[in-house]
């Protein structure tokens, strides 16, 4: 029987920059952004310490790109679930190593944690009105 393994990471943090998207030759898009997380603790002297880390994220899931990326900006709170992937590349005569959180179709998610901007009550009501026989979407 094969051994069970799992590569899953969950980040809860804030975007450090606006997401960037680029189109691929296949017509699909890929989105990239970075999420900052912080750990806090008290040292042996009782002084509060904090360490921030910055995690690059690459999104290959087209539905998530369309649903979330237009609404995200620097400072947005997000929860990202994906897998850790390592790669390397050559730049300026040396090998560079990168570890990224990768969100692929059927293997990850993005949750936007900021509140949606409030709308006036009359705008919410008009958004609910539909023509007879049409479906109502929330």
Q: How far apart are the two ends of the chain, measured CA to CA in Å? A: 46
pLDDT of residue 11: 97
Cβ atoms of 66 and 105 within 8 Å: the answer is: no
Cβ atoms of 31 and 19 within 8 Å: the answer is: yes
For 9-128, CATH number?
2.40.50.140
pLDDT of residue 115: 80
Q: What's the average model confidence in pLDDT over 115-125?
A: 60
Question: Which residue from 21, 20, 17, 19 is spatially nearest to 36, judged by alpha carbons?
Answer: 17
Taking only the tens place, the pLDDT of each residue in 26-40 is 999 999 999 999 999
Question: Which residue from 69, 80, 70 is spatially nearest to 110, judged by alpha carbons?
Answer: 80
pLDDT of residue 123: 53
Listed by start position, the domains of the chain span 9-128
- The pTM for the full model equals 0.78
């Amino acid at each position: 029987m094969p051994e069970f393994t799992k590569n899953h990471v969950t980040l809860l943090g804030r975007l450090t920059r606006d997401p960037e998207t680029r189109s691929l030759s296949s017509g699909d898009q890929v989105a990239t952004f970075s999420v900052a997380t912080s750990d806090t603790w008290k040292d042996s002297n009782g002084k509060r310490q904090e360490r921030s880390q910055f995690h690059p994220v690459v999104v290959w899931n087209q539905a998530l790109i369309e649903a979330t990326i237009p609404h995200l900006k620097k400072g947005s709170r997000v929860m990202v679930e994906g897998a850790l992937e390592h790669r390397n590349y050559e730049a300026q005569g040396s090998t560079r190593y990168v570890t990224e959180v990768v969100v692929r179709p059927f293997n990850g998610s993005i949750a936007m944690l900021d509140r949606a901007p409030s709308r006036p009550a009359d705008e919410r009501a008009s958004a609910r009105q539909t023509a007879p026989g049409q479906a109502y979407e929330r």
